[in-house]
Structure 1
Amino acid sequence: MLNKKVLAVVIASTLGLTACGSDDKNDAVIAAQVDLRILETSDLHTNIMDYDYYKTKYDPTIGLARTASQIKLQGAEVNNFVLVDNGDLLQGSPMGDFVADNFKRDNTIGGTHPAYKAMNTLGYSVGNIGNHEFNYGLDFLSEALAGANFPYINANVLCEADCWEGKAKGDNLFTPYIIEEKMVTDSNGDQQTIKIGYIGFVPPQILLWDKQNLSGKVSVMGIVESAEKFIPMMKAEGADVIVAIPHSGLGTPSNPVDVNDENATYALSLVEGIDAITFGHSHSVFPSATFEGLENADLEKGTINGVAAVMPGRWGDNLGIVDLKLEMQDGAWVVIDRTAKAAPIYDKNADTPELVDADVAIRDAVALEHQGTLNYVNQPIGKASTDMYSFLTLVQDDPSVQIVSDAQIAKVKANLTDDLKDIPVLSASAPFKAGGRHSTTADAQSYVQVPAGDLTYKNAADLYLYPNTMVALKVTGVELKDWLECSANQFNQVNPNTTAPQYLINWDTHRTYNFDVIDGVTYKIDVTQPTKFDGNCQVVDASANRIVDLTYTDGETVFTGEALAAKEFIIASNNYRAFGGKFAGTGPDYVIMELPDSNREALAQYITAETEANGEVDPSADNNWDFVTINTTTELDIRFETQDSDIADSFILENQVRPLTKRTDLTDEFGFAIYNIDLTANQ
């Protein structure tokens, strides 16, 4: 018996022959067509509830509880849709930490992970593995995934040793791809079966970022390399449509494809056979004005090199939507049109900003874990003498970074062996919440806000967002300076001879979590000079020199210049930075200490110890870094972005080191306040 697909082709062909040579348009036969919608969530980071655990209140701008309503709305608009998740699901919010802490204490999650209690209600077709899925180790990941009632894929992580049951060295650790036989309704109202192939990828950098969990256990292929291996197999197995789900940022068309690229989506769009890409990782929204001018991208249609592509922000603030129109041609389904867009859950500029209500079923599914998380984050740990807000952390030394550095130095000093005790201990710490990536309206709320007074564990989690572990490195003064030179790429170059507006913060090519402040030394940053390194710490101008007056003082002895360059230092940091190899002085060869403590645990312990010893902890910034004062007769207009709120206004007024002026005549597209900073005033 002919199946419906073959029968449709036979009928269409027969009728088509009958119509040959006829002028009667009614005799023409339109081939069967299918509209297929692909919905994507990504980078939820365990923001299942629409709730801010740091502020202890509901938040309509985030959470799968809100995204679920958007999923149902967008799904109801069409006859045929599928739902996928692109990973970074199990880490990133206090709820994720609560579940992981239970696992660490009891060696079990204790049932289905709350992320899957929620997602299992929504009918996902497939999930992809993100890099943060490995943060708590393979045992945790294995138990967590067992709670999903939908399959998981990943094509580029391979078993090396001690892998899951049935896996041998060289095998894919996960199922590399699946092909779903999806029953759909065509344009004639008939039922058809379309084979949808899904293939997933994760950045190869997981071997660096989670070395302690993955070293010797897995290896990783390049993203494009694995796509070129498996996609022909998927086509050979009959996939009508192939959806690539890379947990990978966009990348750039100007650089050649590197097998180890972290951000490889643009390169994937050039791989033959891919019909749609639902990507993530970099927390941006595509298509959007952020990517204006991207080569061979159509932001109106949502395509890259003709391939439909979408990236839905982070924390559930957007839902990715790809619409494909397929037509039966010569016995095969062919994509004849494609569009992609991101649908937000909140729009601050709308008359009714909350575009969707919370899905009650999602809230009910995780009610028990929600209460457990509230109890978890409200554990007391100490008391602070001053506010710790990160509104100014990109333009001056600030307490939200200072207290982390102080804690890291204390932890490393307490664990030094005798042969290392004469080497000065410094700390590298970056702002993790300082405006996000300045790419969505939710980013304008992404700031540390820990007021003076009693502190709980949620405050420590606010100050240190990630579950990194403590690591220390031994470096020379030369490497120390280059580490800071790369960090200084956070700033755009300022022209001291123009009155035109100049924005100070380099949001485009430098992430704020790569703006390392190194405590224990003093230095200044000359933003009138070109940057020596780009955002990946690759040299762009070897003669550039932004870091000046770099000094270490040991009692009455002052080290600077060549004396400092020749000196050895220990830098307290985290596993992500230490093993990443990006900054000078990082990488496995420089590591001298790995501690089991997370940086957040070290921070909480430090707060408790200081409170017990002194009645409170003092996180006041020591102002060990500043900008070089610009000597010019030109009236400069230098601007930066920060949160627009009364609490930010008050904090900035009381704590500014250099003169700062809020621009009431300007608005920011994402809802940030714009300030002028005077870098010409004498300090």
Structure 2
Amino acid sequence: MTSPLVRLRLLETSDLHMFLCAWDYYRAREDSTAGLTRVASLIRAARAEASNSLLFDNGDIIQGNPLGDYMALPGHLQNAGGHPMFRAMSRLGYDAATFGNHEFNYGLAFLEDALRSADFPFVCANAEYPDGTPLVPRSVVLEREVTDEAGQPHSLKIGVTGFLPPQIMIWDAMHLTGSVQATDIVEAARRVVPALCARCDVLVALCHSGISATPRQGGDENAALYLAEVPGIDVVFTGHTHRVFPGPDYDGLPGVDAEAGTLAGKPAVMPGFRGSHLGLIDLDLRRKKGGGWIIEKSRCEVRPICRRESGAVVPLTQNDAPTDATALPAHTATMAWMAQPVGMTSVPLNTYFTFLQPDPCVALVNAAQLWYARPLLARSDAASLPLLSAAAAFSTGGMSPDAFVDISPGPLTMRDLANIYTFANTVSVVRCTGAEVREWLERSAIIFSQIVPGQTPARPLIAPDLPGYNFDIIAGLTYAIDVTQPPRYAPDGSLLNPDAGRIADLQFNGRPVDPEQSFAIVTNNYRAGGGGHFPGTGTGHIILTAPDGNRDALIRYVTEHRTVAPSLTPVWRFVSPPVPTTVSVEIPAAAARLVRSDVLQRDGEGSDGRLRYVFSL
């Protein structure tokens, strides 16, 4: 007699980043590329196809757009009767979730208040209070009645545990130091999995961490593959890096089957970000003689909410009405908040040409940070230090092909300033030597490809798969970038080419920067704490953590000055190669009207509907 077969479907969302609605708050228009309301329709369809299913979320839920920021303002959570994202997820019937690193951006007290709206358990095995008490349960066993292929009922125990990047202790040190401690993902798994495995039939790991096949160091940010190697874990849900798995992003990595969707032989998925995809794992469970179940077969896939055709977005699903209804009050209030006027700009503000020339948005943020920090430092031991400001453009097309800032001269609203400064960072100041400032800029300059002088055809200027928010511009200095040199640093901060140097002619007040001179650099808490692996940062360098956010400083600056006109005096330039050299760049079609024909020449079609141009160094 054949033993019973149960088909179990496990569904995952991850990195929703508060995209509850299919709405772009920065442009006040529908966004078919994002939203729990869109992926909710996929969830309902996926459930309808399966007799037995569970739904999980993998973290980075409540922060990431203006709706999240609005809910975090004092009193708004209480006035709304709870957190709309958790209420919507409860209404959708989530079975369990874990934390991502961004859950802590608004502080522990806000997170604890928001969690009261969640009618499903949160689990996390590698974060705890200083006395060893876990923030939330380290694991949970979900008992579900399932039916086998013959229609017979069975009781199934699904064990769930969760993990977050231990780097939260760096990225949100101001909120967590002395209040929380985070540990290595794999070590935490080795502590919790054996006992959990003994209590369940299937063990699911919710891992807010990416996939890396480089040798494990301990304390790794992207540890999903190492976690999958822990005995007893059956399924790994992954995320954090905003990519899609199974898929070509992870082709060729040892221990990874990017087509079948397995890590160390175990089924795994990563469903993009902002609700772009639904992760789905189907398990065939066969009842063992004497009790218990084994995974006989698995299948992994990711289902998108849209696709792109010739640069245009084609929706593949529609809004989910119950989710929209839950979101509507907070969504409406956020739109009204975003429409509030703040000031004026006398010049266009856009991020189309961030990697080619002075960026007015970065210049505005740097001016605001300097304006905000000066009076604070005037009352500190750092008052005598020369003050610099480091900022980067956040919307440079990395999140989606049309994710740029584009503001015409005229009124500035909260929406505009939130678009310029999208993250919920806090103003921080670090102390650096001139030598460390140079190395900071070297790390920033890895955004560029290495260019061979005179090489044809023109090579892309921007290196692939590197985030634009790590291209810091340090105002108060002038310098040149030599892209014919190899990058000095790797993205993880390790020294890649010790003899290379892209930063040239580094000057302060018209004189070469003294390597021994000390500077104060105003930045954000993410960078100050070591986010992005920049020399000159880390807790030992921090001399001030301000009470206000960087966006708040920007709002105050615009409000105070009423009309702003960011300086476009170049902070940096490219070193001219020894022979004429052109490079290629891609910009969205919307930017074509701003192109100076004496600088950029059209050179055909780019990817994702963008236009390709060549640029002479």
**TM-score, with length taken from structure 1:** 0.86
Specify whether residues 290 and 640 from structure 1 end up closer, same or farther in structure 2 by C-alpha distance, changes over 3 A only: farther
Q: 1:47 aligns with which of 13, 19, 36?
A: 19
Deviations 1:393-444 (A, max 9, x none): 133321111111110011111222255333221111112111225xxxxx11
Instruction: For 1:75, give the aligned amino acid.
Output: R
DSSP-derived class of the 1:310 partner:
strand
Who is 1:428 aligned against? 390
Q: 2:515 aligns with which of 537, 550, 565?
A: 565
Instruction: Say whether the 8 Å CA contact 1:386–1:618 is kept in structure 2.
Output: yes
Pairing of 1:158-557 with structure 2 (within 5 A): 158-160=128-130, 169-237=131-199, 239-251=200-212, 253-255=213-215, 257-330=216-289, 331-349=291-309, 353-417=314-378, 419-436=381-398, 443-496=400-453, 498-500=455-457, 502-508=459-465, 510-553=466-509
Q: Report the alpha carbon displacement of residue 672 of structure 1 after superposing the two structures with TM.
A: 4.0
Specify whether residues 628 and 225 from structure 1 end up closer, same or farther in structure 2 by C-alpha distance, changes over 3 A only: same
Identity of aligned residues (%): 38
Q: Distance in 2 between matches of 1:362 and 1:630?
A: 55
Instruction: For 1:469, give the aligned amino acid.
Output: T
Q: Report the alpha carbon displacement of residue 519 of structure 1 after superposing the two structures with TM.
A: 1.0
Deviations 1:280-307 (A, max 9, x none): 1111111222222222322221112211
Who is 1:578 aligned against? 528
Q: 2:613 aligns with which of 661, 672, 675?
A: 675
Give structure 1 regions of 4+ aligned residues with deviation exceeding 6 angstroms: none
Most deviating of 198-207 and 535-544: 535-544
Instruction: Say whether the 8 Å CA contact 1:398–1:623 is kept in structure 2.
Output: no
Q: Distance in 2 between matches of 1:397 and 1:578?
A: 23
Q: Report the alpha carbon displacement of residue 107 of structure 1 after superposing the two structures with TM.
A: 8.4
Q: 2:51 aligns with which of 62, 67, 79?
A: 79
Pairing of 1:64-213 with structure 2 (within 5 A): 64-103=36-75, 108=78, 110-160=80-130, 169-213=131-175
Instruction: For 2:257, give the aligned amino acid.
Output: D
Deviations 1:171-216 (A, max 9, x none): 2121011111122221222112221111111111111111111110
Deviations 1:438-471 (A, max 9, x none): xxxxx11222233321011111111111111111
Q: 2:556 aligns with which of 578, 601, 605?
A: 605
**TM-score, with length taken from structure 2:** 0.95
Instruction: For 1:518, give the aligned amino acid.
Output: I
DSSP-derived class of the 2:401 partner:
helix
Instruction: For 2:448, give the aligned amino acid.
Output: F
Q: Number of paired residues?
A: 613
Who is 1:56 aligned against? 28
Q: Distance in 2 between matches of 1:610 and 1:235?
A: 61
Instruction: Say whether the 8 Å CA contact 1:325–1:336 is kept in structure 2.
Output: yes
Instruction: Say whether the 8 Å CA contact 1:475–1:590 is kept in structure 2.
Output: yes
Give unmatched runs, 5+ long, in structure 1.
1-11, 13-29, 161-168, 438-442
Who is 1:632 aligned against? 579
Q: Distance in 1 between matches of 2:248 and 2:568?
A: 37
Q: Distance in 2 between matches of 1:243 and 1:543?
A: 46
Q: Distance in 1 between matches of 2:548 and 2:159?
A: 41
Deviations 1:119-165 (A, max 9, x none): 122110001111111111111111100110111111100111xxxxx
Instruction: Say whether the 8 Å CA contact 1:69–1:358 is kept in structure 2.
Output: yes
Instruction: For 1:473, give the aligned amino acid.
Output: V
Give unmatched runs, 5+ long, in structure 2.
none
Specify whether residues 663 and 270 from structure 1 end up closer, same or farther in structure 2 by C-alpha distance, changes over 3 A only: farther
Most deviating of 150-159 and 574-583: 574-583
Instruction: For 1:223, give the aligned amino acid.
Output: I
Q: Distance in 2 between matches of 1:358 and 1:107?
A: 24
Instruction: For 1:39, give the aligned amino acid.
Output: L
Q: Distance in 1 between matches of 2:392 and 2:301?
A: 33
Instruction: For 1:248, give the aligned amino acid.
Output: S
Instruction: For 1:507, give the aligned amino acid.
Output: P
Q: Report the alpha carbon displacement of residue 497 of structure 1 after superposing the two structures with TM.
A: 5.2
Instruction: For 2:333, give the aligned amino acid.
Output: G
Who is 1:622 aligned against? 569
Instruction: Say whether the 8 Å CA contact 2:171–2:530 is kept in structure 1.
Output: yes
RMSD: 1.9
Deviations 1:348-401 (A, max 9, x none): 229991110111111111111111101111111100111211111133321111
DSSP-derived class of the 1:69 partner:
helix
Q: Distance in 2 between matches of 1:109 and 1:579?
A: 33
Larger Rg: 1
Q: Distance in 2 between matches of 1:254 and 1:136?
A: 32
DSSP-derived class of the 2:309 partner:
coil
Q: 2:592 aligns with which of 638, 641, 649?
A: 649
